Every structure is written in C-alpha cells, then in structure tokens.
Amino acid sequence: MHNPPLILVADDDIGFQEILATKLKRSGFLVAEAHNGKEAVEKAVNLTPDLILCDINMPGETGTEVVLDLMKGNETKGIKVLLITSMDNPWPAIKEKNENFAKEIGATDFINKSTDLDSVIEKVKEVIK
C-alpha cells in the first residue's frame, strides 16, 4: 500500500472527476486520474493504486470491462474497485450479463454520484483498510 494511499479516479465526466479528486486530496490521499477505460487500465498497471473509483458508464471501455481487464493481470487483479454510477441501482442491469458479476470481477461496491462527498470519503477509507 502507498503511504498515503493512492486512489485512481476514472471518469469521463471531467467536472465530477475534478471535484472528487480535489476532495480526496484534501482528505490526505494521493490521486491519479484517467478519463476513459483504456487509460484507467494503463494507469492501474503502471501505478498499482490502492483503490480505483471507476465510472460504470464510460464511452469505449466501460467500468465493468475495466474491472474484468484488471482481473486478468497478475499485478492488477488484487486492486480494489468501487464503481461509480449515476444510475439508482446498477446491479440489475449488470446481472443480466452475469449473475455473479460483483464477486467474479472483484468490484467491492458501487457509489452513486449523487452521494454526499463526505460519505464517499468514508467509504474509501473503509474499503482501503
């Protein structure tokens, strides 16, 4: 684990990404940013972050595909991932593709983009313990 912990924020919504990254930095975390799925995977391989906050719905490689790609690599399969979404309940849509999605790909949980940022920081702290 990095000290302080390194969080990779992957989101195509630049405004949301900047707000979240700023909040994480002010909370004492190191932050790296990726603007799409391909960049997220590349940075995960190069930086080995302690946690990735990854948008589910990105153009090109989706957040779910990012997690599946990470699980294929020996150096990235242990990285924890919190999926970020603006959907109220993303799991039913995901379960249509794979009923055991969360367990099989290693996604820890999901966070709704409308969640209070202080609650997001608490969730991040809980996950990286």
What digits encode the pLDDT tens for the residues 18-51? 999 999 999 999 999 999 999 999 999 999 999 9
What is the per-residue pLDDT across 44-96, written as a single tens digit (0 to 9) for each? 999 999 999 999 888 888 888 898 899 888 889 889 998 887 765 555 555 54
User: Which is more confident, 100 or 53?
Assistant: 53
CATH among 3.30.300.30, 3.40.50.2300, 2.120.10.30, 3.40.190.10 for 6-127:
3.40.50.2300
Q: Would you tell me how many other CB atoms lie within 10 Å of the CB of residue 103? A: 9
The residue ranges of every structural domain in the chain are 6-127
How many other CB atoms sit within 10 Å of the CB of residue 122?
13
Tell me how far apart the alpha carbons of residues 18 and 121 are, in angstroms, rounded to a whole number: 14
Indicate yes or no: pTM above 0.75.
Answer: yes
